[in-house]
Amino acid sequence: MNIVERMKAPTPKFFRVLRNIGLLLAATGGALLAAPVALPTAVVTVAGYLTVAGGVMTAVSQSTVDGEPDKPQGDGT
């Protein structure tokens, strides 16, 4: 299964919820980073971490597929 097929395949419910949480974290971090007011350094640092963590969570959750793998891994023992 290549990456395009994997992204188009159905995602399990648990990972859809995680994907949405990741999108929320990324959006929150992005909003804090783009705020037009001066924020404390700690808030900006946490916002950067939120953005990265949300993006990674979203990508990993989206690439998880529902169903059986195409071929078995290993020698089967």
* pLDDT tens figures, 31-77: 999 988 998 999 999 999 999 999 999 999 988 887 765 565 555 55
pTM for the whole structure: 0.74
* pLDDT tens figures, 25-43: 999 999 999 988 998 999 9
> Between 54 and 6, where is the model more confident?
54
Q: What is the pLDDT of residue 42?
A: 94
Local structure of residue 70 (DSSP, 8 states): S
**Residue with the two structure tokens 């971090």:** 29
Q: Distance between CA atoms of 10 and 77, rounded to whole angstroms?
A: 29
